[in-house]
Structure 1
């Protein structure tokens, strides 16, 4: 079986790297490294030496200019010490079959880099963004998610419902146009939606939908299904006792199932 090598990138305000690495290791990753962005620039680590790349949550650059905007500019223009662009490494990594997971701040980075949703295979062209929550406040609580069975996303295979925590101030999806929003739904790019905890149906009602995202969009995938970005934090539900209903006898599926699906995919597709 293929070896799973996970790279968790940290630095510039990232603060969920340890939980993300722990979730990957729990899922069976053979090698899990937390690496500072500056070490990649210095050439001490290569992105394309791994096959599972995680952009964790946090507050990249203090969310100045909009969440992850400054980080997206850094990624687009950064070069390693030998003159190679980081985007070249990232493209090599992805073309070799690598998986990418962006969580919260990491999701914000992926959409601003244009890695998501990449409708029509148009990677690195921004098609959506993430804006301030409709509540105009930071939302920090648990939500229910429904997985889209029509999505090509490899992370959500076999998943029907997830309970996960959210903690964000800029999580409302804003498409470039109505046509882009329509295509997100039509193509299965919507991998996860905010759902009513009782019915499991996608909802626009607050607080079940914490930010007002249209079509209750909580997570997106690309046409290959090998990139997933979501606002809730799957790495933060890594043990049954994390769940607020644990003492009431509630034992839903752990958020680490997304990491397990990633590891299983990589093992099956050497």
Structure 2
């Protein structure tokens, strides 16, 4: 399985993401610049964290206008897994690929620490390696991770089981309903504020993040074996 890791000016987590996929997961990955416009040769797409374009307008707002995002939309429309982490999550909301918006943390401070997450839905291509209700540890690192949707959209997210991960420890940013990660209705796009690529080896305190990548690979292989 081959992953595209999309980078923009200001992306800062592409190396960690590459190492997680290649060194820990044992799959292929390639770093792809923002000015490319084709992702056909890849099986999955990752938008890693950072501060693209310095968050000059809104986090992810300038990135979503770059040529590569049209290719990301096409990959998502074809059913390929798309994972947006941190700033990548913000890009997905700005592009309209996920509902909601990421606001400044209620504390008005950048927060970097390990947090506990609750697995709300393990019936997705990103969470099938977990048990429903399981608690996992994955670090966060953001100043604008306060996920917000209106009441109608929140009800829609709940009705379609799109809320995949929530914070179980003290909410670190004020996000509505403690949401840490959501999918689109089709279930092939995940936006996640915590950084799974930083939790792939026990030396860092947790390997729970690796299981998100393992879920993607396992579901991709099962799907292709079925369709072969």
Partner of 1:5: 2
Q: What is the distance in 1 between the residues matched to 2:77 and 2:157?
A: 23
Structure 1 unaligned blocks of 5 or more: 80-85, 117-126, 197-207, 244-251
Structure 2 unaligned blocks of 5 or more: none
Q: What is the distance in 2 between the residues matched to 1:183 and 1:223?
A: 9
Count of residues paired in the alignment: 220
1:229 is aligned, of 191, 196, 206, to: 191
SS at match of 1:254: coil
| Cα RMSD, aligned residues only | 1.7
Q: Deviations over 1:54-93 (max 9, x none)?
A: 0000001101111111112x23xx38xxxxxx52x33442
Q: CA offset at residue 265 of structure 1?
A: 1.0
Q: Are residues 1:139 and 2:101 paired?
A: no
2:56 is aligned, of 54, 64, 73, to: 64
Q: Residues 200 and 207 of structure 2 are in contact (CA less than 8 Å); yes or no, is this contact kept in structure 1? A: no
1:28 is aligned, of 26, 29, 44, to: 26
Q: What is the distance in 1 between the residues matched to 2:129 and 2:32?
A: 31
Q: What is the distance in 2 between the residues matched to 1:136 and 1:112?
A: 21
Q: Are residues 1:166 and 2:140 paired?
A: yes
2:124 is aligned, of 130, 137, 153, to: 153
The 4+ residue runs of structure 1 with deviation greater than 6 A are none
Q: Residues 44 and 82 of structure 2 are in contact (CA less than 8 Å); yes or no, is this contact kept in structure 1? A: yes
- Report the structure number with the largest CA radius of gyration: 1
1:265 is aligned, of 219, 224, 227, to: 219
Q: Residues 129 and 214 of structure 2 are in contact (CA less than 8 Å); yes or no, is this contact kept in structure 1? A: no
SS at match of 1:49: coil
Partner of 1:128: 100
Residues 95 and 66 (structure 1), Cα distance of their counterparts in 2 relative to 1, 3 Å cut? closer
SS at match of 1:48: coil
SS at match of 1:269: helix
Q: Residues 153 and 224 of structure 1 are in contact (CA less than 8 Å); yes or no, is this contact kept in structure 2? A: no
1:193 is aligned, of 157, 166, 188, to: 166
Q: CA offset at residue 94 of structure 1?
A: 2.7
TM-score (norm 1): 0.77
Partner of 2:157: 184
TM-score (norm 2): 0.90
Residues 109 and 91 (structure 1), Cα distance of their counterparts in 2 relative to 1, 3 Å cut? closer
